[in-house]
Structure 1
Amino acid sequence: MPHFIVEYTDNIKNDANIPLLLEKVNHILISKAPLFPVGGIRSRGIELKDYYIADGKEDDAFVHATLKIGAGRSEEAKNETCEEIFNAIKDHFAELYGKRYLALSMELFEFSEAGTYKQNNIHKRFKK
C-alpha cells in the first residue's frame, strides 16, 4: 500500500496524459517514505466509457481519484499527503479545466489489515 486509482472519462483521454499524472503521484508517495513503503505503491488509471454527468446536455468530463491506504497513519500525515496529491491533480488538469467543463475529486479510503491478503517480493529491493 498505498494504491492510487484514477478514473477518468474517455472524452478527455487525448488531453489528460494519465501516465504523467500517475508518475507525479508516485513521486509524491515515494517522497513520504517510510510513511508509505515504496515497494507497495501501485498507481493505475481506469478509462470510463459508460457514464452520465449532470443533465447530459454538455460534453462534461470528470476525474475521480482514490487513495487507498492501510490504517495506522496520523491524521496530519494523511491530510498532508492528500492535499499534496490533490494539488498535483489540480495543477495537472489546470489547462484542461480552463477549456472545458471538468469535475475533479479525490477520496481517501483507509482500511484495516483484517481481510486483506498480500504477497509482495518487491519490498526486498527497497530494504537496503
Structure 2
Amino acid sequence: MPHIIIEYTDNIKSEADISNLLKKINHVFTTRSHLFPIGGVRSRAIELHDYCVADGTQDDAFVHVTVKIGAGRSVEDKKETCDTLFEVIKDHFFDLYTKRYLALSLELVEFSEAGTYKHNNIHKRFKKS
C-alpha cells in the first residue's frame, strides 16, 4: 500500500500526460518510505469513456484520484502527504486547467488491515540489509 487510482475523462487524453503523472504520484509516496513502504506503492489510471459532467451540455473534463491506504498513519502525516499530492496534481494539470473546464479531486480511503490480503515479494528488494 498505497494504491493510487486515477480516473480521467477521455476528452483530455491527448494533453493529460498520464504516464508522467503516475511517476510524479509515485515519487510523492516513495520519498516518504518511512510512512509508505516503496514495494507497496502502486498507481494506475483508468480512462473513462462513459461519463456526464455537470449538466452534460459542455465538453467538461475531470480527474479524480483515489488513494487507498491501510490504517495506522497519523492525521498530520496523512494531511501532509495528501496536501503535497494534490499540489502535484494541480501543478501537472495547470496548463490544461487554464484552457478548459476541468475538475480535479482527491480522495483518501483508509481501511483496516483486517480487510486486506497481500502476497508481495517486491518489499524484499527495498529492505535495508
- Report the TM-score when normalising by structure 1: 0.99
Listed as ranges, the matches of 1:7-18 within 5 Å are 7-18=7-18
Structure 1: 5+ residue stretches without partners: none
Provide the rounded CA distance (Å) in 1 between the counterparts of 2:103 and 2:20: 19
> What displacement does 1:106 show?
0.4
Aligned residues: 128
Q: CA deviation at 1:113?
A: 0.6
What CA distance in whole angstroms lies between the structure 1 residues aligned with 2:106 and 2:49?
Answer: 20
Instruction: Kindly report which structure 2 residues correspond to 1:58-97, keeping only aligned pairs within 5 A, or say none.
Output: 58-97=58-97
Q: Measure the CA separation in 1 of the matches of 2:35 and 2:113.
A: 16
Letter in structure 1 aligned against 2:119 = Q
Q: Which consecutive aligned stretches of 4+ in structure 1 deviate over 2 angstroms post-superposition?
A: none
- Which consecutive unaligned segments of at least 5 residues does structure 2 have? none
Deviation digits for residues 94-120 of structure 1 (CA, Å, limit 9, x no counterpart): 000000000000000000011211100
Instruction: After TM superposition, list the pairs within 5 Å mapping 1:50-61 onto structure 2.
Output: 50-61=50-61
In structure 1, how many angstroms separate the alpha carbons of the residues matched to 2:18 and 2:67? 16
| 1:47 paired residue number | 47
Please state how far the C-alpha of 1:13 moved relative to its aligned partner.
0.4
Give the Cα–Cα distance (whole angstroms) in 1 for the partners of residues 46 and 87 of structure 2: 20
Name 2:19's counterpart in structure 1: 19
Structure 2 CA distance for aligned equivalents of residues 67 and 86 of structure 1 = 11
Return the TM-score normalized by structure 2.
Answer: 0.98
Say which SS state the counterpart of residue 114 (structure 2) adopts: coil
1:105 is matched with 105
1:54 alignment partner, SS class: coil
Tell me how far apart the structure 1 counterparts of residues 68 and 115 of structure 2 sit (CA, whole Å): 14
C-alpha separation between the residues in 2 aligned to 1:28 and 1:68?
Answer: 14
* Per-residue CA distance 1:59-112 (angstroms, 9 max, x = gap): 000000011100000000000000000000000000000000000000000000
